[in-house]
């Protein structure tokens, strides 16, 4: 018994030291004091005590005596580490250095500091920014007819273009000193949400100039002459920008572009000058057909040494006016019936002077770094905000439609199958809204959130695709018949576009989220890689020794914390929150520790081959993503002052995300290459088994119900979108109708009861209503309300039909006439 107590005491002391991540010396002292106490007591026997003291000396002495530790432990590990670590390419190095680390680094640490995270307020719109949303943005939404844009015009009307230019929609990121709006990222997000919620075409036109484009690049790298010339012209709309990156043979692998330029002598304005002869073939370039200035990425070569000794200089950027001789621009792609301007740019033997290089000759060869640094910001805002806006509109519309549309004498939103889809719509919209707001706030805080930007781009567009799919299922035939009355069809058609652009989602998930995060956000890995680059051997050994044992301590601590927190349901974890939310912080603290340990195990096992293990990397990326999304939702909930009415949506979204964390971790463990280690990993990560469950039906019912009627929760979920009930905007019309539909429901039940009991008869609604009115079953006002709701509801559920010539608009003379007539009517 005393031996068991002795072993247990040593184990508890060691686990406690690991849990609190004490230094090696502290662990040594704690174990020594424990042994001393048992030695004084003479228990459990001198042989056991002697063996324990010898084991402690054998382990602790080389660990605490640093010269021995460096010689016998660190040096061999350093040699092995250098062999197993892949050489980081220049492309990867640039990508790693481009971003900063925010709260995602806390999640990698295994012990997130929640109080500091949630107490930092989310940025709010300034008075000027709110006025822009209430004024020019609202006016823009009033002007847009998505059917006219997508079918009759295949583009924006002239008055919309003028409005965009006049009010600086292309200049949200340009500083005021150059005539721009100088808006915050939070305002940028709010504008895109509102605009994309009514038209993905207009949303794309607004997003691109404020994302990866010449303006962003000019502000960071342009020469003063370039800034002074271009930024004011971009701000007032005299110049429309686009940026050509993707080429025919290089999409996601952008650094392998075949587009090239050769430094040479050529004639410019009647004089021989040193310049660049370009040959390029770009495609998928948004705004290219209407652009007046083209940003271009190409590989630059200097075979004659006119600029220096390097022949292959690398990726370089230039700005070309539209009328540059030899450049062909204007033809269009047609991306899935979403006619935002998009098309190819081709150039053959295009000669440009060195003045056209973005940033001048100082930045030649640095184009990839320039692009990655800007893309980390743009990716964090443009697509997540646009996807959120579309999802908010879909959530508002689908909730209203599911209450208005009736089958079997009840709203379709009351059917459990529809409730399931409504709950997903609400939960995903809540999650992506919190995610997009958190990443935008990180930009406002001065960060370059490369990893959160990748998380936001991937998950916002993926969740948005699920939202629009569920919305289409609920609308049924209403959703698939295109026309002015359809407010979902174009969004459904366009969903794959947002999945694909700015880094295809498969690539983003399998390579970028964890691939960059594992190095960039880990507390030690990047520092260890940097230590390998130290030239002085002694200095390199000293630096690596300190990092190595800190890393080992981190891994052991995370393993112990994961096990203990899993075993105790994290009840002893110090977390903020109230009675409802404290359990959420505890779960995230537990899974953060488990994730950090599992990430270390994966990197140790696979080493440099982890880049090729895309399924494992993707699953680990899923864990990191869901931890980050849950954190964003909790921060949103705290920022909104913990509204009790929102708890159901938060709970649904949180349990859905945590279940995905469990599933992804299980996938990593079940596919771990060392079968004998899987039981150990399961014990550390899931000591009580897999206890997480999907949101249950009762919770789903509560969430679905919130979408079916006006409430503060529904308003918060969909805040910031366009809800005018003007002609041509069915979503706003439904919103105005919804309260009357709810008010009419008791009267409909009264009418149905009268029909079933034989008090009234007839086969059509009008005759039934007339009889009920005449017999005093309904008052004048009640009968009028039912009649009005019936009429307006039929208008909502109606679908469009066309003459063939109208469907063929633009293909026949008659189609041309109808197209022009419809455009005139819309105007």
**CB-based contact 409:693 (threshold 8 Å):** no
CA distance 422 to 402: 9
What element of type H or E holds 145?
none
Residue 285, strand partner residues: 343
Residue whose C-alpha is closest to residue 498's, from 526, 469, 533, 461: 461
Name every residue whose Cβ is closer than 8 Å to that of residue 461 and which is 6 or more positions away in sequence.
383, 384, 387, 495, 498, 499, 505
Compute the distance between CA of residue 283 and CA of residue 288 in angstroms, rounded to an integer: 9
The structure tokens 């025919």 sit at 248
Pairing verdict, β 260-268 and 271-286: antiparallel
CA distance 591 to 118: 18
CA distance readout (Å), 558 to 119, 337, 429, 551: 25, 50, 32, 10
Residue 374 near residue 318, CB atoms below 8 Å? no
Would you call 251 exposed, middle or buried from its count of C-beta atoms within 10 A (0-12, 13-18, 19+)? middle
Alpha-carbon distance of 732 to 709, in angstroms, equals 14
What are 265's two structure tokens? 């002598």
3-state SS string for 60-84 = HHHHHCHHHHHHHHHHHHHHHHHHH
CB atoms within 10 A of CB 726: 10
Residues 6+ apart with CB under 8 A from 69: 62, 63, 545, 549
What gap in Å lies between CA 195 and CA 203, rounded to an integer? 5
Residue 502 annotated in active site: yes
Which of 188, 164, 179 lies closest to 231, judged by CA? 179
CA-nearest of 182, 143, 181, 173 to 161 is 143
Per residue in 774-793, is it b (16+ CB within 10 Å) or e — as a string?
eeebbeeebbebbbebbebb
Bridge pairing between strands 241-244 and 312-321: unpaired
Query: What is the distance between the alpha carbons of residues 574 and 532, in angstroms, rounded to a whole number?
Result: 37
Cβ-in-10-Å burial (0-12, 13-18, 19+) of 77 comes to middle
If we measure between CA atoms, which residue out of 498, 501, 518 comes closest to residue 621? Answer: 518
Residue listed under structure tokens 């079940």: 670
The single residue of 502, 528, 638, 782 carrying the catalytic annotation is: 502
Proportion of the chain in helix, strand, coil states, percent, rounded to 5 = 65, 10, 25
Could you tell me where the beta strands, DSSP code E, fall in 34-164? Answer: none
Helix (H, G, I), strand (E, B) or coil at 543: helix
Kindly write down the DSSP assignment for every residue of 423-460, as one continuous string: HHHHHHHHHHHHHHHHHHHHHHTT---HHHHHHHHHHH
What tokens were used for 800? 């469009």
Beta bridge pairs of residue 295: 243, 319
Pairing of strands 260-268, 293-301: parallel
> What contacts 63, CB < 8 A, 6 or more positions away?
24, 28, 69, 73, 549
Catalytic (active-site) positions:
502
């Amino acid at each position: 018994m005393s031996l068991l107590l002795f072993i247990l005491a040593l184990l508890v002391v060691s686990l406690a030291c690991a849990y609190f991540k004490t230094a090696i010396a502290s662990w040594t002292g704690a174990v020594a004091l424990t042994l001393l106490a048992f030695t004084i007591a003479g228990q459990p026997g001198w042989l056991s005590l002697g063996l324990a003291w010898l084991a402690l000396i054998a382990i602790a002495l080389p660990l605490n005596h640093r010269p021995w530790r460096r010689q016998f432990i660190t040096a061999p590990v350093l040699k092995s580490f250098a062999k197993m670590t892949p050489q980081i390419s220049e492309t990867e190095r640039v990508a790693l250095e481009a971003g900063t680390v925010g709260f995602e680094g806390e999640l990698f640490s295994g012990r997130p500091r929640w109080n500091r995270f949630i107490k930092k307020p989310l940025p709010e719109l300034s008075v000027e920014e709110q006025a822009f949303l209430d004024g020019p943005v609202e006016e823009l939404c009033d002007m847009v007819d998505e059917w006219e844009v997508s079918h009759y015009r295949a583009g924006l009307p002239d008055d919309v273009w003028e409005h965009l230019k006049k009010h600086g929609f292309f200049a949200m990121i340009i500083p005021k000193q150059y005539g721009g709006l100088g808006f915050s990222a939070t305002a940028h997000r709010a504008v895109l949400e509102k605009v994309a919620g009514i038209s993905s075409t207009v949303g794309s036109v607004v997003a691109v100039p404020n994302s990866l484009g010449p303006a962003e690049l000019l502000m960071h790298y342009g020469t003063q002459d370039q800034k002074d010339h271009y930024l004011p012209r971009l701000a007032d709309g005299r110049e429309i920008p686009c940026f050509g990156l993707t080429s025919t043979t290089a999409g996601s692998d952008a650094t392998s572009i075949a587009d090239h330029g050769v430094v040479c002598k050529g004639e410019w304005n009647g004089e021989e000058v040193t310049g660049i002869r370009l040959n390029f073939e770009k495609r998928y370039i948004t705004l290219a057909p209407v652009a007046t200035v083209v940003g271009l990425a190409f590989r630059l070569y200097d075979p004659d040494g006119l600029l220096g000794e390097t022949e292959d200089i690398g990726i370089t950027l230039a700005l070309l006016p539209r009328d540059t001789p030899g450049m062909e621009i204007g033809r269009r792609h047609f991306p899935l019936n979403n006619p935002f301007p998009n098309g190819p740019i081709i150039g053959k033997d295009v000669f440009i002077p060195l003045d056209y290089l973005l940033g001048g000759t100082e930045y030649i060869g640095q184009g990839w770094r320039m692009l990655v640094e800007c893309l980390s910001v743009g990716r964090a805002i443009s697509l997540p905000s646009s996807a959120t806006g579309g999802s908010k509109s879909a959530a508002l519309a689908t909730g209203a439609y599911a209450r208005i549309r009736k089958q079997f004498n009840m709203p379709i939103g009351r059917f459990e199958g529809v409730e399931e889809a409504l709950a997903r719509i609400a939960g995903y919209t809540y999650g992506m809204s919190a995610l997009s707001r958190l990443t935008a706030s990180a930009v406002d805080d001065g960060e370059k959130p490369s990893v959160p930007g990748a998380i936001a781009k991937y998950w916002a567009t993926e969740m948005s695709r699920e939202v629009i799919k569920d919305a289409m299922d609920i609308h049924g035939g209403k959703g698939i018949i295109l026309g002015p009355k359809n407010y979902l069809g174009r969004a459904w058609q366009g969903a794959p576009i947002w999945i694909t652009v700015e880094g295809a989602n498969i690539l983003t998930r399998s390579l970028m989220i964890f691939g960059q995060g594992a190095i960039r956000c880990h507390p030690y890995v990047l520092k260890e890689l940097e230590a390998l680059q130290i030239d002085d051997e002694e200095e390199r050994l000293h630096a690596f020794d300190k990092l190595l044992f800190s890393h080992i301590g981190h891994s052991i601590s995370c393993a112990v914390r994961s096990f203990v927190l899993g075993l105790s349901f994290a009840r002893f974890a110090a977390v903020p929150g109230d009675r409802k939310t404290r359990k959420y912080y505890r779960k995230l603290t537990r899974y953060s520790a488990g994730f950090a340990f599992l990430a270390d195990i994966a990197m140790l096992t696979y080493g440099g081959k982890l880049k090729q293990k895309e399924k494992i990397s993707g699953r680990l990326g899923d864990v990191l993503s869901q931890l980050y999304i849950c954190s964003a939702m909790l921060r949103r909930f705290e920022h909104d002052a913990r509204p009790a009415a929102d708890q159901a949506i938060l709970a649904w979204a949180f349990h859905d995300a945590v279940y995905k964390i469990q599933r992804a971790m299980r996938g990593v463990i079940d596919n771990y290459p060392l079968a004998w280690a899987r039981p150990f990993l399961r014990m550390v990560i899931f000591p009580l088994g897999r206890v997480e469950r999907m949101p249950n039906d009762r919770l789903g019912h509560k969430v679905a119900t919130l979408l079916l009627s006006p409430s503060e929760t529904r308003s918060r979920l969909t805040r910031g979108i366009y809800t005018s009930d003007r002609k041509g905007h069915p979503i706003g019309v439904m919103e105005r109708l919804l309260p009357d539909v709810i008010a009419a429901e008791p009267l409909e039940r009264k009418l149905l009861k009268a029909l079933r009991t034989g008090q009234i008869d007839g086969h059509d609604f009008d005759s039934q209503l007339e009889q009920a009115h005449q017999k005093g079953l309904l008052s004048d006002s009640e009968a009028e309300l039912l009649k009005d709701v019936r009429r307006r509801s039929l208008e909502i559920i109606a679908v469009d039909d066309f003459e063939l010539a109208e469907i063929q608009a633009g293909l026949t003379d008659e189609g041309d006439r109808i197209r022009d007539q419809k455009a005139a009517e819309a105007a």
